[in-house]
Amino acid sequence: MEILIKIVLPLGLAFIMFSLGLGLTVTDFTRVVQRPFAFITGAVHQIILLPVVVFLTINAFGISGELAVGFMILAVCPGGVTSNVISRLANADVALSVSLTAIISLVSAVTVPILIGLSFQYFMGSSAVSVNVLGIAFAMFALTVIPIGFGLMIRAANPQLTQRMEPMISHVATVLFAIIVIAAVAANWSLFMENLASIGLALVAINIVLLAIGFGIPRLLGMSLKEAKTLSIETGIQNSTLGIAIASLLVAGAPGFSVYSLPVAVYGILMYVVTLPVVAWYRKLH
């Protein structure tokens, strides 16, 4: 288990972010300037609305302490490579999805440490230990920004080779994601079973609300169906691997996966159960 946490987890996350970078081009970033309204709306969903929804859900379900912090870790995680794949399946705007995933992932190196520090103080109270915000920020930079940048440079240097490598790398990233999520749930299995009713229902509620808000607000603002479907998926799908990595940083040196990782890991499974029927419906919308 220690090897999984200290070696497989950080390397796995870096590899997943590297795979994201391989799929990017400079156009994915300049597209933000060309379509600022859709991007800004999606960014507000992820950076502001998502934490608000999770915070309200935590209070509604009476979740507290370490589990509450775990929920907030989920709330500050950006969408992962999975959101791009699901956007493609939903006949959504894949280009917008990729742009949001890439830029929010980069911004998260700044936003995540700050919000986690505030959440830790709020939910843990007097029992809260000191959170090294700068240390988490540095780790986030090393595990997200650098791998994405490295993948982007390789794509720019040799796009033909990258296109051949991308499917295999994507499969490996998916396997790593599954291993990390299953291991985090297994390590906290007894706690998961004890809190299954509250944790499971709260996470399902969060996913449903996020998907609905992500779709409804863009439509009310006059955006296209493709854009609304994209923002719905980007708001409801989170990078669980990153969340589990953040949880491990909060208790560096402790054995096994921490309680903080449990909500993120369970969400990493449940979000597919909730989202796939929605995707099937989105495919029929034109």
Number of neighbours of residue 254 by Cβ within 10 angstroms: 10
What is the overall mean pLDDT for the chain?
82
Q: Which residues contact 156 (CB under 8 A, 6 or more apart)?
A: 25, 26
Side-chain half-sphere CA neighbours of 189 within 13 A: 4
Query: Domain limits of the chain?
Result: 2-281
How buried is 54 (Cβ within 10 angstroms: 0-12 exposed, 13-18 middle, 19+ buried)?
buried
In this predicted model, what pLDDT tens digit does every residue of 135-147 receive, in sequence order? 777 877 887 888 8
- Three-state DSSP at 123 gives helix
Handedness of CA 245, 105, 139, 132 (dihedral sign): negative
pLDDT in tens, 12-64: 778 877 887 787 777 777 777 777 898 899 999 999 999 999 999 999 999 88
pLDDT, tens digit, 9 for 90 and up, residues 52-70: 999 999 999 998 888 899 9
List the CATH code of the domain at 2-281.
1.20.1530.20
Q: What is the mean pLDDT of residues 117-134?
A: 74
**For position 212, what pLDDT does the model report?**
95
- Would you say residue 97 has pLDDT above 80? yes
Q: How far apart are CA 213 and CA 175, in angstroms?
A: 30
pLDDT of residue 196: 72
CB count in 10 Å sphere of residue 94: 18
Q: How far apart are CA 179 and CA 241, in angstroms?
A: 10
pLDDT class of 126 with cuts at 50, 70, 90: low
Please give the model's pTM, rounded to 2 decimal places: 0.83
State the pLDDT at residue 56.
95
How many angstroms separate the Cα of 175 from the Cα of each of 32, 85, 129, 181, 241?
31, 15, 34, 10, 11
Residues 6+ apart with CB under 8 A from 29: 99, 102, 103
User: Is the separation of the CB atoms in 180 and 9 below 8 Å?
Assistant: yes
Return the pLDDT at 58. Answer: 93
Q: Do 254 and 191 touch, CB atoms closer than 8 A? A: no
Q: List pLDDT tens digits, range 163-214.
A: 777 778 777 777 777 777 777 777 777 777 777 777 889 999 999 999 999 9
The alpha carbon dihedral of 156, 160, 162, 163 has a sign of: positive
